[in-house]
Structure 1
Amino acid sequence: MNSKYDLIIIGGGAAGFFAAINIMEKNPSCKVAILERGKEVLTKVKVSGGGRCNVTHACFVPNDLVKFYPRGERELKGPFNTFCSGDTIEWFSNRGVELKIEDDGRMFPTTDSSQTIIDCFLKETQKYKIDVLTNQSVKSLFPSNDFWKIETTTEVFACKKIVIATGSNTKIWELLQDLGHQIIEPVPSLFTFNIKDTRIKDLMGLSAQVAVKVKEANLKSEGALLITHWGMSGPAILKLSAWGARELNKLNYQFSIQVNWLKDLNFEEVMEELLQLKIENAKKQIDKFCPFDFPKRLWESLLLASEIELQTKWAHLSKKQMVNLSNQLTNGVFKVNGKSTFKDEFVTAGGIDLKEVNFKSMESKVLPNLFFAGEILNIDAITGGFNFQNAWTTAYIASQSV
């Protein structure tokens, strides 16, 4: 069977739907289809942000927003000046979906449910009579002068233009490589660090504001660090994993991190503070309260790691113990042995080489009438709604050009 369309979007995710809806809004007479290889559409939207869908981030200045993208910073400046976070909020609001800002700047639907975003998209695709076709895994792409031929496992489609929004789908990357596109080898970008260490054993769920750096690379970050069953996670770690995606891959995920549990204080400052505490609390037990702003159980664990018994009185602290404790607090070294990724929220660094895309239109410079949107490009961001903003922006620009 041969199905003819004006435009076909490959990929039934966030970027694909956003492109389709915006195209139809401008050209209601257009015949558009979305091809999705799976049984369901928008699966990543469903699980993102713990099922709440972190739609975007409350950063409204394009030049500030681009700084959250380890790959794509330079290229996204122009696009963000066309369609930025504020436009995303307005777009959803116009369709009855209100967003709210959380303390850390992340934005979610007020319903706290990703289903709200999915329902909004499905309603719009019905309204514009966009064909959403599932179980359509693309096998081959053939460009000719005035149309594209797309073969899936069950059908053959013809269309004038294509928007590819398949995220990190290696099969599609291979097809595009065969057609002359350069693919930057994909590596994981957002992942947590596997660490087995007695200092954090049994402390899962605790978090602290830290400064952390990778000893074997010029990588550092600050923010919340979360202790998990398998090691360390949280924004501070995820930032390192995004900015260091390629370097940490080269190290085969075997490296050491240095954690400063007090973030803004250095070794000397902590030594001074401990001396002061020793004078002021001479008769008190050292484990009775944590004098710093992080969980007491972590304080107890670091005391033990510094060879200080928990019942010790402040007055009895030796110079050596204070040096040990100061080191544990500001320069704790942890060995990382591998990584863990959240399968559903997996982000990769890699994809279509950005030099081969015109960012004014999102059209391929290699193949005319072929457009890209979202994570298929070698663009990725840290966690916090930025990867979705890239999807909305690039899809919007592709839709305007198409």
Structure 2
Amino acid sequence: MSKSYDVIIAGGGAAGFFTAINIADANPILKIAILERGKEVLSKVRVSGGGRCNVTHACFVPDDLVKFYPRGEKELRGPFNRFCSGDTIEWFEKRGVEFKIEEDGRMFPVTDSSQTIIDCFLSATKKHGIQILTGESIQAIYRADTHWKITTLNDTFLADKLVMATGSNPKMWEMLQELGHTIVPPVPSLFTFNIKDPRIKDLMGVSALATVKVKKSKLEASGPLLITHWGMSGPGILRLSAWGARELFDKSYQFALQVNWLNDVDLDECDVLLKEIKQEHAKKSVGKKSPFDFPNRLWESLVNAAGILPDTKWADLTRNQLQALANQLVNGEYQVNGKSTFKEEFVTAGGVELKEVNFKTMESRRVENLYFAGEVLNIDAITGGFNFQNAWTGGFIAAEAITSM
């Protein structure tokens, strides 16, 4: 026998729970169920931010916030004007969760535990009588005349409205395709670069502010760059991987990376700087101390790569040696051979084509009474709480649309 609900949420993650709770807040008499294929709900929330849950980011201006989304920038402007980071904080604080802002703008519960967010959600769903059904792997979705029919391995469910909050699930995308939606093929986003190069071989843990570019491409990003035992990571690299997700996929993650260790200094400016340093420190050894704002170990490696012995005096540097050093500093090329996933926070670029969604309601433009929230859409962001903010905003707007009818 089929089980009937007013609203069924497919997916027991952040977006699914937030949508369900907001629907119940606005209309407590609606019968709501969350269907989760796994044994546990909110598993991504649990591991986010190293188990601390990076709930959102302290960027409170919608026009600034959208700039952190390689896919979704244009579409999220309107939604963020209705429910932004500040609204997220207020929503949780009303439910007893307090936050702190870290130096980089990331926001965490003061408890430093993702369990705080999980408990908040479970408490709200219990209070509202929202049914959480785990181990319900959806096998098919049908649109009947007046309702949805959802079949799982165990059961059949009927619902007036269906919210897809299934994240990057290829099986769910296939079902949405069968309903008439276009799916942008998924590719990885947010990954680090595998590089084997003598210049960085023994520099694990060294970090510097740098600008990175993909050679023969318009892709460019700036930010802290971290040298790891497998290559390069850090915010600058992750930013480049996010904006270049599709292009780097097409290159099979084999490309030349140009690194400017002086960030915004160009070759000519670097040449002038080195000549000034040569005059000021004429009697000092070149390799002894970094004259720039990055670690000595990195400086020594670049001096060596320029073919300069560390004990060489600045005064003795030839024009060619200065040029070689300038090249290493602002125009060094590193061959990338593959990628590595960034921690456990795997993010995918791809999903439901954004033109097929009404961002005023999060409802499908193709199928009536079908709504979306979170990463099921072709929206993704860099790390820092932005992917969660997309989930909160989409869930809030979908809930508002569902309950205002």
Which segments of 5 or more consecutive residues in structure 1 lack a partner in the other structure?
A: none
Task: Give the structure 1 partner of residue 84 of structure 2.
Answer: 84
CA contact (8 A) 2:20 2:130 kept: yes
- The equivalent residue for 2:141 is 141
Task: Note the C-alpha offset of 1:257.
Answer: 1.1
In the alignment, which residue of structure 2 is the partner of 1:121?
Answer: 121
In the other structure, the counterpart of 1:218 is 218
| Equivalent in the alignment of 2:265 | 265
Which residue identity lines up with residue 111 of structure 1 in the other structure?
T
The separation in 1 between residues aligned to 2:201 and 2:300, in whole angstroms, is 12
Cα distance, 1:270–1:342 mapped onto 2, change above 3 Å: closer
Q: Which residue of 1 aligns with 2:332?
A: 332
Shift in Å, 1:216: 2.5
Contact 2:14–2:392 (CA under 8 A) maintained in structure 1: yes
2:341 and 2:84 map into 1 onto residues whose CA distance is: 28
Match of 1:364 in 2: 364
* Distance of 1:393 and 1:114 partners within structure 2: 19
8 A Cα contact 1:216 1:255, kept in partner:
no
- CA deviations 1:259-313 (Å, max 9, x no partner) are 1101122222222222222222222222221110011111111111111122222
Residues 292-371 of structure 1 mapped to structure 2, 5 A cutoff? 292-342=292-342, 344-371=344-371
State the secondary structure of the residue aligned to 1:29: coil
Dislocated runs of 4+, deviation >3 Å: none
Q: In structure 1, what residue type is equivalent to 2:255?
A: F
User: Can you list the C-alpha shifts for 1:133-182, whole angstroms capped at 9, x where unaligned?
Assistant: 11111000111112111111111111111111011100000011111111
AA of the residue aligned to 1:24: A
Q: Amino acid of the residue matched to residue 28 of structure 1? A: P
Query: 1:48-67 maps to which residues of 2 (within 5 A)?
Result: 48-67=48-67
The 3-state SS of whatever aligns with 1:375 is helix
Shift of 1:205: 1.4
Note the C-alpha offset of 1:316: 2.5
* SS class of match (1:301): helix
Give the number of equivalent residue pairs: 402
The 1-side partners of 2:56 and 2:297 are apart by 35
Counterpart for residue 184 of structure 1: 184
| Superposed displacement of residue 17, structure 1 | 0.5
1:253 and 1:338 in contact (8 A); partners too = yes
Q: Distance in 2 between matches of 1:281 and 1:242?
A: 41
Contact 1:217 1:247 in 2 (8 A): no
Partner-residue secondary structure (3-state), 1:344? coil
CA RMSD of aligned residues (A): 1.3
Q: Structure 1, residues 90-133: CA drift from partner, whole Å, max 9, x if none?
A: 11111111122222222111222222111111111111111111
Paired with 1:67 and 1:343, the residues of 2 have a C-alpha distance of: 23
TM-superposition CA deviations, 1:312-366 (whole Å, max 9, x none): 2222222222111111001011111111113631111111111111111111111
For residues 106-255 of structure 1, what are the structure 2 equivalents within 5 Å?
A: 106-255=106-255
The offset of 1:254, in angstroms, is 1.0
Structure 2 Cα separation of the partners of residues 61 and 44 of structure 1: 26
Unpaired runs of 5+ residues, structure 2, are none
- C-alpha contact 2:214 2:255 (8 A) present in aligned 1: yes
Confirm or deny: 8 A CA contact 2:187 2:249 kept in the other structure.
Answer: yes
Q: Tell me the amino acid that sits aligned with residue 310 of structure 1.
A: P
Quick check: 1:12–1:34 contact (8 Å CA) kept in 2?
Answer: yes
In the other structure, the counterpart of 2:256 is: 256
CA distance in 1, matches of 2:283, 2:112: 50
CA contact (8 A) 1:189 1:242 kept: yes
